[in-house]
Structure 1
């Protein structure tokens, strides 16, 4: 979107993708809350099924409100197009299933959202798609060693959840490019305001739009963005569903859609048939959230950096995992990839283990105890007893998720108030420890 030169991010987050054909000319994008759309006549109905990208037929296929979200996020991420689906998990599932099938293989960073890890390890494995997990995600040789002839994609997160261990996207992208494989980056915690993975070599970007893009913890949504960088016809044997199998028009997806073949297949085959359809109502709220994305994420990040530094200096805290701190082993990468801010989701570990984590969590007043991220409200969670509860203790330790570790998502409250709440909870932890040493409890 240009007007006498490129427009800035804040301008585009408000205006990009808002071109709607509506005679009433509303300023805000309307909610097209309808299951289907009326055909003018017999011929138009046929055309909508033959050329599904020409107009609308059924909301599971496409909807004007959803399209506005897709255009805006594609613009902000620098992709050629996007697909909106019902959740972040649906985005990951749809993206992978548009690339891989039974007998195929994925390579993923080990440090990722636990829901994605379990999806790869359990659900996809039942479908015959195996996954190798790379522990040293910033070591190109580890990715190289994990790739097989049947590998179809690499997957990682720009800011992994919950450890805030920043990924060297360029290094992994170079490995993917050498092997002709797409690199999928989950950019949920960074958002396109802080980081745009496509600019660093990623081929596909996914988001849980339920988090920072929507911003208020009210709706679910997911999005897939295609960079349009890969020539799918260059490896027809690797992706036969894109470059070998012909449709009713006698053409393959690669012939019909060119470098957008992946996105076209994800939309018209995977999403259409499996049905992870987002409600236009949810799409509307995601669109509203995006309009203030830069303002919110900047404030989130500034408060998180201050709070992380405060926690690091507290005697009850053993360690803080936040790349914005100079002590972080990922600080240099954060300065390279995240100069605007290092996000608001990070972890810290209490010295007293699980008992300390329980006392701390139950003593908070402002922080909300819930499994969510990217809300305007500050959130806290104990991963070892919630998101990572299905792992063995050895697996949790190997992942750096100890019993004393807590994940926080810093919201938009005044940082002083949040620090006071944390201070109160940490004081409760210290008081409980003193009573235990004295043999009173």
Structure 2
């Protein structure tokens, strides 16, 4: 049996990181009262870095609170948070946060929330908009969280502060993001292209392949996709790449397990050469998810999605994390990935998942831990698969107002449709899967 001192050490290690052991309301109150002393120890000579650390400490205090306490934030209007922020002088010791020891839980939540807002405002005033060359270097909390100086998307409507009672995960931070560096046991890696993007890009493009035929290699216990036949596949790919430009797309998504190496090379070639362009081409899409494919990386097979920018430059790959099991009990013959990629693109953050990564309903979704604007999901499956995507999309919408874009190739075939598309419009529960069926190879949607 572990000794008490060892247990206490483990507890402190968890509490200092991005993941915390469960704590009682009383334990949280004791930790909250220690927060001013923790803030007073922040190294102010580090300039902007000191502000980032202070923001992290205040954020973690509320983010790790038991739900009854954290819920109190949703009972405090933004006008009260702003009032508490105005009385918090961040130039003082402990960044202006002070308690008299008689505060109720609601008082603590309001004061810490106000301090957090004041710190965030100070940072946005101090910060000049510059980024380090590698965004993964900007970490806080002893490298337990990524600090991202990017606020919320403009499509989120401005609310009257007296009426704004959104929960902490939607309103605790408004000008910056904090994302744990480890989520659900996987490393979170940031990607940020260094070239400018067209602010006019709005649409999301979905590509499906009518009549696609999968060729699989199967055993009694496992399977993998070794080939696919795509009727008119080359023309569909070429047309999608052209339309992605002409229709001003932010994102274009091809579905899971439809893009083999030849199709992936064709997508990249089309994006690079833009053979349809006459004179100056229209703005390129922000990024293109070239579906996914069962492929070897080293000695192991993975289900891999490749993401290009609008000029055909490969930005990164995302490996599927959860292994699929078909109705006959055969297991997808792949190794699981162990990384989440968050793409910082223009005015928004994007996370990615491949089919089961997002739609598995056996566990709380890891995507709720990622404070992003959109989750992008290439998928392959039936109406039940899409039903599960819808439920997870409802979860992340409820928690963070994160929008989800799922492009799902139908498997097995369904009458008069090539697949399903879940629009990134913030209304994931409005339509059942049958009404999300899409027959066309190319469709666009607005968030």
Q: Shared fold (TM-score greater than 0.5)?
A: no
Select the structure that is richer in helix.
Answer: 1
Select the structure that is richer in strand.
Answer: 2
Higher relative contact order by CA 8 Å / sep ≥ 6: 1 or 2? Answer: 1
